[in-house]
Structures are given as structure tokens and as C-alpha cells.
Amino acid sequence: MAILRFPDQDRIVEDDTAIRTELAPAGIDYERWSLDRVPSDCSADEVLAAYEAEIDEMKRRGGYVTADVIDVNPQTPNLDAMLARFDKEHTHLEDEVRFVLAGHGIFFLALDKGVAAVEVHPGDMLRVPRGTRHWFTLCADKRIRAIRWFQDTTGWTPHYTESGVDKGYQPLCFGPAYLGQRVESSITPVQNA
């Protein structure tokens, strides 16, 4: 499940319900969905077929017209250039909606109450409303496979804020898979905060 951090407040939220409560005022939805629908090595078409009900429900909820599966791994051509498009603070004219099937990443969200870093793991669904200032980075495994929804694929172009705020936050992942790489931190985990 996701890990929510507020780096400026030395605060970590790891409880699903508490994460939802923290993100809801910004209109951000966080949900946990089942991963047992398809084997991890299935094709994109099999994923889209297996999750058809959820995909259609999200389309109804958010007015999305299409969905696809993005699949990124360390062998993806021009991976660093691709990631560089999204690791600086930006907005989109449409929602950014992801259901993570494999891999890990961090959505940094510039909220009224400060920057929130949402580390997403397999089974996490995150919906970030249009206009939300954010940036994204992969974890050390440089792997993410996710279902994406679009209201209009042309709306997903990043509009950079040029604020430079992203430079002040380390793209460090804290999940269980990264304990071996975890750096010293003064952050104290807080449950049900």
C-alpha cells in the first residue's frame, strides 16, 4: 500500500484510511484495488479486459474517454529523458489517474498544507485532479506498470510551473523493498495521523 510523507513536517502516514483523509481535501482520491485478477506477465490487452468493470466505473466517475497500460522498466528506450519530462513541478489540463500493477514511484503533490510525497505500490489507485501542482519519479527499480485514464490524451501535456520547488525534495522511496537502500532520516513514522 501507499506511503504518504510530508517531508517538511517529518511526518509519515501509512494507514489507508488516514491517507485518504489527508488527500481528500485536495480532491485527490486514493484507493486499494485487488491485484489477483491477472498474472503479472499478462499482456496489456489482458489487463484492460480483466479490469474492464473498474475502468468503466472510473470513466463514469471522471468523464474519462479512454484507458491504456503504461509499462516502463530499466530497458525502456530513452527512459531518463522520459522521466525528466515529469520530475519537475507541472500541471495538466486533465486528471492524472493511475492504478499501479507493478513497480513503484512517488507522486510529489504541492498541496495547501505543504508538499506531500505519495509513494505508490502495486494495488494503489491514485487520482490527481487537473490543475494540481505535482511531479513524479520512479523508485530505484525504475519500474512501473499502470492503467492510465484520459479525458483527452492531448490534455496530458505537462505545463511546467518553473517554480524549482521540486529541487528541494529527494526522490527517495521508503517502501519495504528499499530498506536496504534506505538512508538515515529523522522522519518518525506516525500511524493513523
Q: Where does this chain bind Fe ion (CB under 5 A)?
A: 96
Q: Which of 96/119 has CB closer to Fe ion?
A: 96
Exposed/middle/buried for 38, CB within 10 Å: 0-12, 13-18, 19+? middle
Smallest separation, CB 34 to Fe ion (Å): 26
Smallest separation, CB 124 to Fe ion (Å): 16
Which cell goes with 25?
481535501
Which cell goes with 137?
519519479
Smallest separation, CB 156 to Fe ion (Å): 7
Nearest to Fe ion by Cβ — which residue? 96
Partners of 117 in beta bridges: 5, 108
Q: Which of 14/96 has CB closer to Fe ion?
A: 96
Q: Which of 93/177 has CB closer to Fe ion?
A: 93
Smallest separation, CB 167 to Fe ion (Å): 17
Which cell goes with 67?
484507458
Smallest separation, CB 97 to Fe ion (Å): 11
State whether the Cα torsion 25-28-34-40 is positive or negative.
negative
Q: Which of 26/38 has CB closer to Fe ion?
A: 26
Main-chain dihedrals φ then ψ at residue 20, nearest 5 degrees: -60, -45
Q: Which of 14/95 has CB closer to Fe ion?
A: 95
Amino acid at 189: P
- Cα 100 versus chain centre, distance: 8
